[in-house]
């Protein structure tokens, strides 16, 4: 039963062909999204400027392309994350205007480049090995309409580099910090700025890093109060949250 | 060497009594916060409307009161978290105008009640047992100048209650969601709104909840992209991040 | 000593050629399944309508086919789980009437399609990545004589889709819910229905999902009382339990 | 807006004082449980014969008694779990007809003792230390209208006792098995019967039992296909699921 | 049906009043331990010289004494482990000839002191903090009829003490080694002797010892091939296994 | 300084050319194994009937063969464990009389087949997937001079098979039990026999088996007192310990 | 057999009353520490300036005092760690010249205050809650003859304080850094200095700090190469290692 | 703003063209490393004799060679760790004078072979499988100007070999001990010497070694006070710390 059906029912109420009590009983069993609730999602998509994201992992190139075609017909921008090279090839064939980012496995269809943020987002990473995760965050922020300032290779053990970027950091409305190993960078950055910091533990490291667990725990225990955390290697999620913050 | 010393040095430069190269050498070895960097913290405090927070756990009532007196002399608002009853008694004796919140162990000195947010913050909790954590978040948001809408006892297993609060949730600029056990509520809330959701796992539960670990992992793996996470039972941190987001 | 031997012994008792005390002593040392207990298994198999299941993992194609031939000679239906492509090829060559399901690695010999359940079983999954596990559950339910209603791609973060399937869910006698990541779907489903929900954590996810651990812990801590849990990715076990429940 | 409001709206539709399109728009924004969905819960409660359960842990005696009074006014049976002695005393004072079970901390108001199951539920425990958890399961099953057969102190290391109860076990429609330490009993029971087995790991043990984790993992890895698992020490949940299964 | 019943059945077979097939059918459904299998346990008890052990943890003094009285009437020796002071007091009142060992919480009734071993058992501990666990192992070995050589306070970091006890160690038929912290002693002892070494991790330590987990993992990974391991703090189990080995 | 040097020193003492105090000083600094302690190892090897074992994992075929040649020149029997196919090929080329066991990766040079045990060792496994680990245990027991009774595919969920092998089990002097998944078999076997049981958790399973951790924890928490445990998949260690026990 | 016995044996060799071969055989079986090796420990103690340390945890006041008296008779300095108040009282009664440090539970008998280091040791802590652990490290360093520079309350989130202590840090020969929560301070310190940094994770924190595990993992994954780690809360061990480094 | 800019500013101060207050304000916002702080790093490099290390893991051969060329132009010695064979080939082509160590994946450019240590460093490993990690430590020590004494294959289970190397060990200024499995060797070594011991857990082992976790925990819980620990397999870090210690 959709909007038409509801309309029909109400018309029957008006005409008297259906009793009010019967109408109420029928309405109680309606699948409610058919009453128009589903439009919420549609509106939100438009408001976000980023209708859909496809998580590429575990999907075939054919599946990704088909979904992408459907989505791209009604949305300006599209992001595929965690794509294999095969998926990237298929996507680039189907969408020649798309961009492919092999380091992070992202593919981006960026047709609406309207800027929607109140300021800049900084995307920071601790080491060169954290770059793919930072790239995913950066691409996400951009496709969601944000200007991004990327600052790479600032480790806690080389605190001078961090300090020398203090001003750039303090100009951001939100900061994404990607770090593996001990995951200490978000605390240090958080202590220097007054905006929200979204920490992304990366799986970079070996031994007792336990694939990012050490960094994750470190970030959750941050002594800086403006730090919140997303899943290990989840550059997309961090960029998404930062974009919402920057949009205000 | 403080500001006065730097001023003196520069005056010596101007008067010619100290060589420029010598001045540069001396400046390189200055403890740099004495150059005024420390003011940054001060400024930030004023800008935040919440200069200092005292983490009460592991401190004696005397220690807390002494620190509180020092801080309260130069800041309008003060928050003590994780205070024992003894600390609360000592604080209430020293600051008769303070408020004490026994459930969460918070004590608040809320002299400057200026509203600083762009909108409301919603603080949501899944069960009545999560209330102390939610209270800590609420108190933090308020003392940082935000209007708070609290929505209690909305579990994922009773999804009707969640749905019936959909409109209130969608009006918030940031939402703090506190949940123990399976920690599923942030995902469900996150899917209904388009603002950032800060998830707080609580240590509520037993057995395989492992003191909040289950909820923490659930929240980190949220399928809603607008969710970031703070430490278990860290209502303060969530309220702090939400306040920064709402301030914009 | 088998049934014949026991019969012989009793005949000796009757004829008096063996003393009663001696007979009792001998019987105490009998391997008891030879007394006919083994028939219990046989009876149960017939009663179940699914005599044997072969866990394909770690077996060679030859081993699987040989075991399958032996079992198929005395049972109508046969299920191979976790089969490699090599096993599937060998099985399809040996049993042309069998069905092969590459996504889940299941192979099914479904000769007796008698319906044995009191109602329908719903098999629900949270995301498309959970489909292989859901498929294993569905195939198991069917081969055990149940009608299955499959509902795919209902995440907690998109609660409208869940709500719109409320009626279908409430018609099931038992529901299998497969979910990875935060594993919140069983709680949400459990809160909507009054039948038993069997939750299957899947290994879908990355980072802090720890190969399904996050989902597993979430499901064990479900705030819905009608949820019980099976091992990670154990679609077969969930389908098996649901089938027993539906049979009554 | 409640049922009355909806009725009023429909009457306005009928009378023509409200346009159909306007009515549809208004209905879309209704908090939908006010449309009567909440009755579902009420109906389910009646159908179950157990309207409400109060989780006593973390609540004050006053809170529990107040909630209990409200619930007892509209439901026949009431169960409080994890109650302290103080809660038990307050409940027994308020409800003289209630039963108190100190071992498990359960309190039961069992006014409607109608039998609702298709058969018996067996509640089995491995050692005497597991009795409190088994008691919680038993009380739950009974208050939900089931006949319960309790079989205590059957360990895997004393397999003769298990075998001698084989017939009693095979007569049950569902079996709750509580075991700590290695948690092997559900597998052994599961292999002997053809009904669903709900396994409850208990926190009994020491050292590498890790408060029930060893038993939990053992049960999740059961080689018997008819076993599903609930949280550590969750006798209530197991009894609840078993009751739903027995009701059919 | 017990032995008498089986005898009656066989007599009916002999007399012809029961058919052989009917007898076979009845026998198949006998609870088999009633056929005399239970005697096995009784025999084993006599053969072991230690009929029963009572795990005191979680039992009331009254419960322990009652069980102890029943057991002591048919067995010479009795061991209670993990007894509280209250249990110990009650036991000593009921059994004046018993011994109480407060460090380990053991109580021993040692009436039959026959030596049953082929040689000596050595019980070794790494530090004085491990003594309670070693005491439990020693008491167990003794009450099972073994001569015990106790060697205390031999740490891996003071390897000279270990070396100076080399000869005593090499004379044992089995060695119990109790160690906390890094749990390295069993490997070192194992490399010096050719008899089986039973390693007992103790919960002694702090921080990253994780209540004995570090020692447990260390012992499981021992590079000495003659080491097997029991649960953390399980001195009783180690003494039991060592006794079986020494008995041969 | 070796035996010759010590002899020379003592001769100098006898001849008076070296002072007794000086001799004592020199002796204190001797690397003591040069005094002949190293012979202990040699003696032990002879006494064991199994001079050397080569852990093949991580070694090149060349390395294994070279070490094997050196060892085989002074010992009758040789065991290589965890050998790759390449190592096996090289070993079989170098030692045509050796046996290769691809399932477990063992290679055996079994020239001295003297029986050294007091009785038989039983090697039991729960499922066919546990066979490689059981094979390693069996080969180890045999090459150390023991008669082995292998009993395969006895799961706890099929307790009849276990019971029907009760007599064979009770005849063993030591039993190795290999089981994955829930690891319950050692407890069940331990309850049926009075000899030591060495439990080997195997890495068989999936999901929450965590590569054998579930089985390991289950075995460490065994409620049977005669069970001790070795590392996951360590069939060799279990066979080694069982051999020492059987030798007495 | 002690030194006297060896001397006697050598005299018999000289006199010819014992054969050289016989003497060699006897010497091989000597418990070797009786040959004087034990003196090594004695020498080391003197060389260290700290003969003995008593780990107070789990010992009675009487035990600690007795051991302390024995040790204090032959060593100048004595350190008791992890002492309860009862132990401290007993120690202060027995050794009026001792110092008691209630925060860390240390008691120190510091009679020989000779400075033995090549420079200073810095002991740094991140927060005031880490002070007890830092105190234990400081006391250890001092009693081992080192000058200590203590720098408190330098968190990574307040990096200005760290930077302002850069010069003091760079003057140390070894630095002990105590930090809880995310444990990031050792990395930051390590990056500023070129001496070895000994990191001590503390159990300070809550929730996902898991009693110091988060800090421990962070420190083990430090991106500064000059950091090594000791156990959680092990201030003594860190002070001990730093002292050895400073002594050179 | 760099040194030149600062100089310019001071000259403006001297000339009076810039006000002192304005100068102070400008200086406060300077990126401070431009004031010369960065030289610290440069100085430290020269002082260490090892200017740069390249962590090869995750880098392409091209990246490594480019960075190496830049670094080698201003530093004498260079170390690449965790290099793949492809990186090694590219490096050897670019730097014919370099050394390649395939076992550990290290590549070394060792032009300045000045000895800088006060004594020797011992690098010890427990088994042949630990050799790659020991090699990384050895190479690091050497390239940092230390003489290294390598002692291989000393296991705790073969304590005679350890004892026979006692004197060599006692001559070292610092000892790196690499061990997998139970990780007991550092404790045993630590007890024999009075210098600092840096323990390196290796990932050698299987099953419950959990890729080095067992060894790591063992080493953190060492009962020898002179042991500190680095990350699993971190031979480089251990060698680095040992070098700093030896340099004094």
**Helix, strand, coil % over all residues of chain F, rounded to 5:** 50, 20, 30
What is the per-residue DSSP string for chain G?
--HHHHHHHHHHHHHTSS-HHHHHHHHHTS-GGGGTTHHHHHHHHHHHT--EEEE-TT--HHHHHHHHHHHHTT-SEEEEES--HHHHHHHHHH-TT-EEETTTTEEEEE-------SSEEEEEESSGGGHHHHHHHHHHHHHTT-EEEEE----GGGHHHHHHTHHHHHTEEEEEEEE-TT--HHHHHHHH-SS-EEEEE-----GGGGGGHHHHHHHHT-SSTTEEE--TT-HHHHHHHHHHHHH-
How far are the Cα atoms of A72, C179, D176, G96 from residue D234, in angstroms, in the given order? Answer: 48, 22, 11, 56
Q: Which residues contact D101 (CB under 8 A, 6 or more apart)?
A: D107, D108, D135, D136, D139
Chain G contacts of H79, Cβ < 8 Å? none
How far are the Cα atoms of A124, A170, A219, H54 from residue A197, in angstroms, in the given order? Answer: 10, 11, 11, 30
Which residue in H has a C-alpha nearest to residue E210's C-alpha? H217
The dihedral sign for the CA sequence A199, A204, A205, A207: positive
Chain D contacts of A11, Cβ < 8 Å? 20
Residue whose structure tokens are 């179940």: C48
Higher-confidence position of H84 and H22:
H84
pLDDT given at position D40: 34
Q: How far apart are CA C90 and CA C93, in angstroms?
A: 5
F and G interact (at least 3 Cβ pairs within 8 A): yes
* Nearest-by-Cβ selection for E182 from H159, H163, H219: H219
- What digits encode the pLDDT tens for the residues C176-199? 999 999 899 999 999 989 899 999
What is the radius of gyration, based on Cα positions, of chain A?
A: 23
Question: D201 — contact with chain F (CB < 8 Å)?
Answer: no
What is the per-residue DSSP string for F182-246?
T--HHHHHHHH-SS-EEEEE-----GGGGGGHHHHHHHHT-SSTTEEE--TT-HHHHHHHHHHHH
pLDDT given at position G148: 97
What SS3 state is found at C71?
A: helix
E239/chain H closest Cα distance in angstroms: 23
- What digits encode the pLDDT tens for the residues G112-149? 998 989 999 999 999 888 999 999 999 999 999 999 99
Which residue in C has a C-alpha nearest to residue B224's C-alpha? C157
Chain F contacts of C216, Cβ < 8 Å? 207-208
Question: A47 — contact with chain B (CB < 8 Å)?
Answer: yes
What are the b/e assignments for H55-69, b being 16+ CB within 10 Å? bbeebebeebbebbe
pLDDT given at position F46: 39
Residue whose structure tokens are 């070129």: G194
Q: How far apart are CA A91 and CA A86, in angstroms?
A: 9
* Nearest-by-Cβ selection for F221 from D209, D220, D224: D209
Task: Confirm whether the ipTM is greater than 0.90.
Answer: no
F142/chain D closest Cα distance in angstroms: 28
Low-confidence stretches of chain E (pLDDT beneath 70): 1-3, 25, 27-51
Q: Which residues contact H26 (CB under 8 A, 6 or more apart)?
A: H9
Q: Which residues contact F237 (CB under 8 A, 6 or more apart)?
A: E225, E227, E228, F200, F230, F231
Chain F contacts of E240, Cβ < 8 Å? 225-226
Tell me the count of F-H CB pairs closer than 8 A: 43
pLDDT given at position G3: 61
Question: D46 — contact with chain E (CB < 8 Å)?
Answer: no
Render each residue's pLDDT in chain B as its tens digit; 248 residues.
Answer: 446 777 888 888 888 888 888 887 676 554 443 333 333 333 344 344 555 789 888 888 998 999 899 888 878 899 999 999 999 999 999 999 999 999 999 999 999 998 989 999 999 999 888 999 999 999 999 999 999 999 988 888 888 788 888 889 989 999 999 999 989 999 999 998 989 999 999 998 899 999 999 999 999 999 899 999 999 999 999 999 999 999 87
Count Cβ atoms below 10 Å from residue C69 Cβ, excluding itself. 12
Q: D157 and F224: CB-CB below 8 Å?
A: yes
What is the per-residue DSSP string for B33-70?
GGGTTHHHHHHHHHHHT--EEEE-TT--HHHHHHHHHH
Chain D contacts of A4, Cβ < 8 Å? none
- Give the strand order in the sheet containing G77-81: G52-55, G77-81, G106-110, G99-101
Helix axes E61-72, E85-94, angle to 10 degrees: 40
Q: How far apart are CA D167 and CA F23, in angstroms?
A: 81
Question: H39 — contact with chain F (CB < 8 Å)?
Answer: no
Q: Which residues contact E154 (CB under 8 A, 6 or more apart)?
A: E124, E125, E126, E161, E162, E165, E185
Contact D197, D144 (CB under 8 A): no
G and C interact (at least 3 Cβ pairs within 8 A): no
Q: What is the 3-state secondary structure (H, E, C) of E32-56?
A: HHHHCCHHHHHHHHHHHCCCEEEEC
pLDDT given at position E7: 80
Q: What is the mean pLDDT of residues A226-244?
A: 97
What chains are in contact with G, requiring at least 3 Cβ pairs below 8 Å? A, B, E, F, H
Lowest mean pLDDT segment, chosen from A208-217, D128-137, G36-45, G112-121: G36-45
Count Cβ atoms below 10 Å from residue G74 Cβ, excluding itself. 11
Contact B220, C208 (CB under 8 A): yes
Chain F contacts of D162, Cβ < 8 Å? 159
How far does CA F237 lie from the centroid of its chain? 4
What chains are in contact with A, requiring at least 3 Cβ pairs below 8 Å? B, C, D, G, H
Residue of E35, E116, E203, E225 to mutate, testing the F interface (most F Cβ within 10 Å of its Cβ): E225
Tell me the count of E-F CB pairs closer than 8 A: 72
Question: B103 — contact with chain D (CB < 8 Å)?
Answer: no
Question: E41 — contact with chain D (CB < 8 Å)?
Answer: yes
Chain B contacts of H3, Cβ < 8 Å? 24
What are the b/e assignments for H26-52, b being 16+ CB within 10 Å? ebbebbbbbbbbeebeeeebeebbbbb
Question: A203 — contact with chain C (CB < 8 Å)?
Answer: yes
Q: A167 and H59: CB-CB below 8 Å?
A: no
How far does CA G56 lie from the centroid of its chain? 14
Contact B221, C181 (CB under 8 A): yes
Q: How far apart are CA B67 and CA B70, in angstroms?
A: 5
Q: C14 and E11: CB-CB below 8 Å?
A: no
Chain C contacts of A231, Cβ < 8 Å? 206-209
B and F interact (at least 3 Cβ pairs within 8 A): no
Chain A contacts of H201, Cβ < 8 Å? 207
Q: How far apart are CA B245 and CA B145, in angstroms?
A: 12
Question: F202 — contact with chain D (CB < 8 Å)?
Answer: no
Question: C197 — contact with chain B (CB < 8 Å)?
Answer: no
Tell me the count of C-F CB pairs closer than 8 A: 44
CA atoms within 13 A on the CB side of D47: 12
A38/chain C closest Cα distance in angstroms: 7
Chain G contacts of B58, Cβ < 8 Å? 129, 204
Question: B126 — contact with chain C (CB < 8 Å)?
Answer: yes
Q: How far apart are CA D201 and CA D213, in angstroms?
A: 8
pTM, entire model: 0.86
Q: Which residues contact E234 (CB under 8 A, 6 or more apart)?
A: D206, D207, E133, E200
Question: G13 — contact with chain F (CB < 8 Å)?
Answer: yes
C and B interact (at least 3 Cβ pairs within 8 A): yes
- What digits encode the pLDDT tens for the residues G3-21? 677 788 888 888 888 888 8
What band does D184 get if pLDDT is binned at 50, 70 and 90?
very high
Question: H121 — contact with chain E (CB < 8 Å)?
Answer: no
Lowest mean pLDDT segment, chosen from G147-156, G195-204, G215-224: G147-156
What is the per-residue DSSP string for E92-123?
HHH-TT-EEETTTTEEEEE-------SSEEEE
Tokens read off for G231: 């156990």
F199 strand-pairing partners? F177, F229
- What digits encode the pLDDT tens for the residues D101-140? 999 999 999 999 989 899 999 999 998 889 999 999 999 9
E and B interact (at least 3 Cβ pairs within 8 A): no
Chain C contacts of A37, Cβ < 8 Å? 160
Chain A contacts of B42, Cβ < 8 Å? none
A195/chain C closest Cα distance in angstroms: 26
F225/chain E closest Cα distance in angstroms: 5
- What digits encode the pLDDT tens for the residues D91-102? 999 999 999 999
What band does H50 get if pLDDT is binned at 50, 70 and 90?
low
Return the closest-CA partner of residue G141 out of G112, G121, G125: G121
What is the per-residue DSSP string for chain D?
--HHHHHHHHHHHHHTSS-HHHHHHHHHTS-GGGGTTHHHHHHHHHHHT--EEEE-TT--HHHHHHHHHHHHTT-SEEEEES--HHHHHHHHHH-TT-EEETTTTEEEEE-------SSEEEEEESSGGGHHHHHHHHHHHHHTT-EEEEE----GGGHHHHHHTHHHHHTEEEEEEEE-TT--HHHHHHHH-SS-EEEEE-----GGGGGGHHHHHHHHT-SSTTEEE--TT-HHHHHHHHHHHHH-
Question: G31 — contact with chain E (CB < 8 Å)?
Answer: yes
The dihedral sign for the CA sequence F2, F7, F12, F13: positive
Chain C contacts of E42, Cβ < 8 Å? none
Element of type H or E holding E26: helix E20-28
Question: E203 — contact with chain D (CB < 8 Å)?
Answer: yes
CA atoms within 13 A on the CB side of B11: 6
């Amino acid at each position: 039963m959709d909007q038409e059906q509801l309309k029909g029912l109400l018309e029957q109420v008006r005409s008297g062909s259906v009793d009010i009590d019967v109408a109420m009983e029928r309405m109680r069993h309606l699948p409610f999204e058919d009453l128009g609730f589903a439009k919420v999602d549609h509106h939100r998509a438009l408001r976000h400027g980023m209708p859909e994201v496809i998580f590429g992992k575990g999907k075939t190139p054919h599946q990704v392309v088909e979904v992408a075609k459907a989505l791209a017909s009604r949305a300006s921008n599209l992001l595929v994350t965690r794509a294999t090279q095969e998926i990237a090839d298929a996507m680039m064939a189907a969408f020649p205007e798309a961009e492919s980012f092999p380091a992070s496995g992202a593919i981006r269809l960026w047709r609406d480049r309207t800027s929607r943020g109140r300021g800049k987002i900084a995307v920071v990473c601790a080491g060169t090995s954290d770059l793919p995760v930072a790239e995913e965050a950066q691409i996400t922020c951009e496709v969601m309409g944000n200007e991004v300032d990327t600052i790479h290779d600032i480790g806690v053990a080389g605190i001078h580099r961090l300090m020398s970027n203090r001003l750039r950091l303090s100009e951001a409305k939100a900061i994404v910090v990607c770090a593996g190993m001990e995951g200490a960078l978000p605390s240090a950055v958080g202590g220097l700025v007054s905006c929200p910091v979204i920490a992304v533990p990366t799986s970079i490291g070996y031994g007792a890093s336990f694939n990012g667990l050490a960094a994750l725990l470190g970030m959750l225990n941050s002594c800086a109060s403006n730090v919140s955390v997303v899943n290990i290697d989840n550059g997309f999620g961090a960029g998404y949250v930062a974009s919402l913050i920057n949009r205000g």
